Structure 1
């Protein structure tokens, strides 16, 4: 049996579209899961954003359906789970991918109302989607949830307090959910991407020089893409990772492991003759 096959399984991927051309984490993940045999329900706030994702899956002979919905609304989250069950009769996988940069600034400068909205988008959405997905997974006594964090949630120094805070919260939520639902056969893990080049990054105006600088700052000195993130997610939800839960996997070319320019240790003194 293929240990990474997802044949017969049903997945929901939130944020499965893209408001611009290109492949973001949600689109890449949906395509990879379908490529491995899963039937995938695409969810995003705008139907048009998912069209290219569905077309890419269909072009490879995969199966998908789409639902427009806002992951900050409980009714929309419930509707997505009900749609997956109506289409395919089960739910095995949930990928909580939706996230925004949120308001900039430190604790003094950040806008409180924008803070509350971004906390709901980035953090409460994970709870809301899981609230309705987990009971469906309980029916077959197994399931997989992967939450998307960021290396900003693992390290200090990010210029935006909101973004780093929400991504750190997702790491801890993953641990708590894994503890709550592991006895039910439901695995919950987290992927923390580094500075991969996605449409969200592109719209911020990162130029070629900036992209090269980011790549050079990694231990592997390479630029990551959404496909790198998607492959990690697909592995985590596969039978190959059956004994892994409650973990956060950085996908960052080693950025969170350390710097590339560590000084060489001083040589040991010679032994006396």
Structure 2
């Protein structure tokens, strides 16, 4: 068997991956699964102690990781995150822009300007900053993968998640633009758009019995997702298995975007 065939398509051995918002939920699942597949992982979020818990969990299973606190809204902290990864391991092969905010739940007409600006800065600009910090080095080493965690909120309107949805739609366009700009240097850029997943971030949605009942009724798989069900797509996009995919958005939503299995629109 040739060397290429001997390795799994999903083998991340030798890679270094940065994951933002990695202390819990989808980010943690991605960090743990990437480490399981052989990547060295930089676990990042605002709280260092929470990141260290993830690092310890990865280490207990034989993986390699370190924790770096970072507020994605601060450019200097993102640069420090990149610098720390380079100082420790000398390369960055994959970045996962998972950290995001949603401080407003309600109609857009009641959205203060400063909150709108904060959502756009944290959910879009921070991903652009991080990508721009790592892509030149990726290009020098022959390629890399940028993965942005978007949402199906970026594909449909919402009476209560308007600005968040706008930011997540923009993330999809950011991934397309980066794909076009950096594809000739073998850097791939893609989005993952989860549906409702059981995370602390989405707790206001899945803990509300009325919302939960309606969402599961309208979902072909009749349930919400779990963080680990998003992580496999990130491993795919970082690995040889995803080496010809760029500029795309992978929707993982239990079938919500395909349509409701309910009869009629009751």
- Within 2, Cα distance between the matches of 1:255 and 1:39? 34
How many aligned residue pairs are there? 258
Q: Which moved more, 1:241-250 or 1:41-50?
A: 41-50
- Within 1, Cα distance between the matches of 2:76 and 2:123? 17
Matched, 1:243 2:241: no
Matched, 1:2 2:8: yes
- Within 2, Cα distance between the matches of 1:204 and 1:218? 15
- Within 2, Cα distance between the matches of 1:107 and 1:212? 25
- The CA deviation string for residues 46-82 of structure 1, in whole angstroms up to 9 with x for no partner, is 1122122112101110000111111111211111111
| Partner residue, 1:21 | none
Larger Rg: 1
- Alpha-carbon RMSD across the aligned residues, in angstroms, is 1.7
- The CA deviation string for residues 63-114 of structure 1, in whole angstroms up to 9 with x for no partner, is 0011111111121111111111111111100000011113233342111111
Unpaired runs of at least 5, structure 2: 1-6
- Say if 1:203 and 1:151 are closer, same or farther in 2 by CA, change over 3 A: closer
CA contact (8 A) 1:72 1:128 kept: no
- Say if 1:65 and 1:116 are closer, same or farther in 2 by CA, change over 3 A: same
| Partner residue, 1:216 | 217
- Say if 1:208 and 1:231 are closer, same or farther in 2 by CA, change over 3 A: farther
| Partner residue, 1:79 | 80
CA contact (8 A) 2:218 2:259 kept: no
- Say if 1:69 and 1:7 are closer, same or farther in 2 by CA, change over 3 A: same
| Partner residue, 2:27 | 26
Q: CA deviation at 1:207?
A: 4.7
- Say if 1:207 and 1:55 are closer, same or farther in 2 by CA, change over 3 A: farther
Matched, 1:65 2:66: yes
| Partner residue, 1:144 | 145
Q: What secondary structure, in the 3-state scheme, does the structure 1 residue paired with 2:52 have?
A: helix
- Within 2, Cα distance between the matches of 1:102 and 1:165? 14
Alignment of 1:185-264 (within 5 A): 185-202=186-203, 206-207=207-208, 210-261=211-262
Q: What secondary structure, in the 3-state scheme, does the structure 2 residue paired with 1:99 have?
A: coil
Q: What secondary structure, in the 3-state scheme, does the structure 1 residue paired with 2:201 have?
A: helix
- The CA deviation string for residues 126-162 of structure 1, in whole angstroms up to 9 with x for no partner, is 0111111112211211100100110000112342221
Q: CA deviation at 1:210?
A: 4.7
| Partner residue, 1:161 | 162
- Say if 1:158 and 1:139 are closer, same or farther in 2 by CA, change over 3 A: farther
- Say if 1:150 and 1:125 are closer, same or farther in 2 by CA, change over 3 A: same
Higher helix share: 2
| Partner residue, 1:106 | 107
> Structure 1 stretches (4+) deviating beyond 4 angstroms?
207-210
| Partner residue, 1:121 | 122
